Structure 1
Amino acid sequence: MAEADDQKGNNRSKLEQAAVLLMSLGEGDAAEILKHLGPKEVQRLGTAMTHLSNVQQNEVEAVLSNFLEEVRTLTGLGMGSDGYIRSMLITALGEDKANGLIDRILLGGNTTGLDTLKWMEARSVADIIRNEHPQIQAIVIAYLDSDQSAEILSYFQDKVRLDIMMRVAALDTVQPSALQELNNILEKQFSGNAGSQTKTMGGIKVAAEIVNNLDSSLANDLLESINDVDEDLGTQIQDLMFVFDNLVDVDDRGIQALLREVSSDILIIALKGADETLKEKIFKNMSKRAAELLRDDLETKGPVKLSEVENAQKEILVIARRMADAGEINLGGGGEQML
């Protein structure tokens, strides 16, 4: 029994193990780690920490053991510096503790202005850029992560949304003067150098990723509007979009890796809106017992709102794209072109 308990840490996903590891550290050490992670990474960790409960001491020890073992196999630990999301830290740690971490990380970091926008609520970013030139709006939308950009766009009227997306699709590189202009606009929110090199951003691929993260009704309306203006561009964007049912093109090994990172609760809701081909693909890449349980859960699960299904599918797609970016899985079809 003791040996079985020692393996509990191994039964948790890597994300949950990372959350256990962080929760076992003091605030100062946790802050030092978090400031080297990007907003999306910290958001996922913060969510995982809020869901942790009844973690036994032997689980913590197992997680630490796994971590030390992995570290021994690495030649170095490389992490990007990008800041982290304020709201998720408050949710995970409480406002008092989170504010202390936020102050230490933000004041000690070297964050550029556009990166600062990644911590802000989508509505706040929309309000900041609402009265700016459409090209400035497009630069912001192209720079930020596609899911955040999609949420920001939802706060604009249809005509403005179309104008911004047409400009995003047409973007290629941005001159330093344009970035400096944006820095000047947001000087109260950040500090930093625009640099002297042009920056690649935007393009049809970015436009497709943003549309992919919009609510289905907004996405359909926007695609129709883009097709009315430029049918060829609309077709290119649609060809590059990767939707939940496209996961059927991922090979078995990739599906198995993805399933290890997705909670069963999210998977059940997401599959309520999936076609039978994808469901069977999921079932065949699980153990017989796990597949039977999943089938039973799907049958007994009551009606689910369309919005809940779409949100669950988007959450899984975010994980899939992250894993594809890291080279852990290969998205087939349209997704392979996107990434």
Structure 2
Amino acid sequence: MSGVQRAAVVLLSLGEAQAAEVLKHMSAKEVQKLGVAMTSVSGVSRESVGKVIDQFVDTLAQPSGLGSGADEYVRAVLVQALGEERASGLIDRILLGRNTSGLDTLKWMEPRAIADLVRNEHPQIIAIVMAHLESDQAAEALKCLPDRVRADVLLRIATLDGIPPNALNELNDVMARQFAGAQNLKSSSVGGVKVAANILNFMDSGQDEQILGAIGEVDGELGVRIRDLMFVFDNLAEIDDRAMQAILREVPNDKLSVALRGAEAKVREKITSNMSQRAAEILVEDMEARGPVRLAEVEAAQKEILSLVRKMADAGTIQLAAKAEAFV
């Protein structure tokens, strides 16, 4: 069995509550991949299940055969993990036909492929499409579009306040025909300043400022609102000590030492003040021993830590400052 299939066997061996807790710590893409695998696992022998379980938990009792009633199990687990509203669309994609279509299909495409698909569309159409994607995916897709288009699209995303369901369905139908599907979206609530800020959070350093500058020339007040809602690495200095300590327990020291190379002094102070004296000394020694580090490595490390912070905030493990509302 593949790794995903083995993970599906483990989750099917757990109770609904325990499986839901596991899924809460996974991304939408991971949840969908596991959900599809869970619905397709059938006819697994006791011996095979035992071998899989032994790889994860030696003390887990050997379960019975799996496969029957998997659809109902997956539905119950997803609702517990994500809530009825968030889970409904994902349940449809997993259980109804096992495939996605229309705008939802784009969420599972490579960013460059999405950019190629919408490159020649009107900026308003591109904005609607990008607003439906995950923020990091939308940011990667925007990077593949011409510079002149990026600011226009972000401006339109920030000023989106939902669109008529019939217009959204028409756009979805156009996309669906390209993928030979026919699934309507359940919600027309897309876009907004927070969505635009979230997407900019995932843009490369310099690109975000370029886009914000272009937006500010068109609508200065809107540019300020977007900037205020963005959460960048330096904003870590603004979170409370308990949240910082929780973050530090999850971040490897080698990753932290690279990320801090490009951080403001207040961020370094915030981090070291929430470590033991010995741990802070080791961190500083590690930074000094490494020597020069490329800017790309620093930015990559910071983005990785910010991604972890976002997952912790989404899971309710930590609370971020009010300025970071868009980020969570």
* CA positional deviation for 1:40: 5.4
Residue correspondences, number? 275
CA distance in 2, matches of 1:261, 1:62: 25
Partner of 1:26: 6
**Unaligned ranges ≥5, structure 1:** 1-21, 46-56, 66-73, 84-104
Partner of 2:155: 166
**1:63 and 1:301, CA in 2 relative to 1: closer, same or farther beyond 3 A?**
farther
Alignment match of 1:231 (pick from 215, 220, 231):
220
Alignment match of 2:262 (pick from 270, 273, 287):
273
CA distance in 2, matches of 1:226, 1:63: 58
Alignment match of 2:124 (pick from 115, 131, 135):
135
SS at match of 2:179: coil
Amino acid across the alignment from 1:139:
I
Does 2:233 align with 1:244?
yes
Alignment match of 1:78 (pick from 78, 81, 85):
81
TM-score by length of 1: 0.70
* Percentage identity across paired residues of the two chains: 48
**1:127 and 1:24, CA in 2 relative to 1: closer, same or farther beyond 3 A?**
closer
**1:30 and 1:176, CA in 2 relative to 1: closer, same or farther beyond 3 A?**
farther
In the alignment, is the contact (CA less than 8 A) between 2:162 and 2:188 conserved in 1? yes
Which structure 2 residues correspond to residues 211-226 of structure 1 after superposition, within 5 A?
A: 211-226=200-215
**1:204 and 1:77, CA in 2 relative to 1: closer, same or farther beyond 3 A?**
closer
In the alignment, is the contact (CA less than 8 A) between 2:197 and 2:227 conserved in 1? yes
Q: Residue deviations 1:73-101, cap 9 Å, x none?
A: x9x95244777xxxxxxxxxxxxxxxxxx
Alignment match of 1:151 (pick from 129, 135, 140):
140
**1:261 and 1:152, CA in 2 relative to 1: closer, same or farther beyond 3 A?**
same
Partner of 1:306: 295
CA distance in 2, matches of 1:299, 1:81: 50
Partner of 1:325: 314
**1:190 and 1:140, CA in 2 relative to 1: closer, same or farther beyond 3 A?**
farther
Partner of 1:258: 247
In the alignment, is the contact (CA less than 8 A) between 2:197 and 2:326 conserved in 1? no
Q: Residue deviations 1:247-268, cap 9 Å, x none?
A: 1111111011112222333222
In the alignment, is the contact (CA less than 8 A) between 2:163 and 2:189 conserved in 1? yes
Alignment match of 2:277 (pick from 277, 284, 288):
288
* CA positional deviation for 1:217: 1.6
Partner of 1:193: 183
**1:58 and 1:260, CA in 2 relative to 1: closer, same or farther beyond 3 A?**
farther
Amino acid across the alignment from 1:254:
A
**Unaligned ranges ≥5, structure 2:** 13-18, 35-52, 62-76
In the alignment, is the contact (CA less than 8 A) between 1:173 and 1:198 conserved in 2? no
In the alignment, is the contact (CA less than 8 A) between 2:244 and 2:271 conserved in 1? yes
Amino acid across the alignment from 1:292:
E
Amino acid across the alignment from 1:189:
F
CA distance in 1, matches of 2:296, 2:139: 15
* CA positional deviation for 1:28: 5.3
Amino acid across the alignment from 2:190:
M
**1:63 and 1:121, CA in 2 relative to 1: closer, same or farther beyond 3 A?**
farther
TM-score by length of 2: 0.72
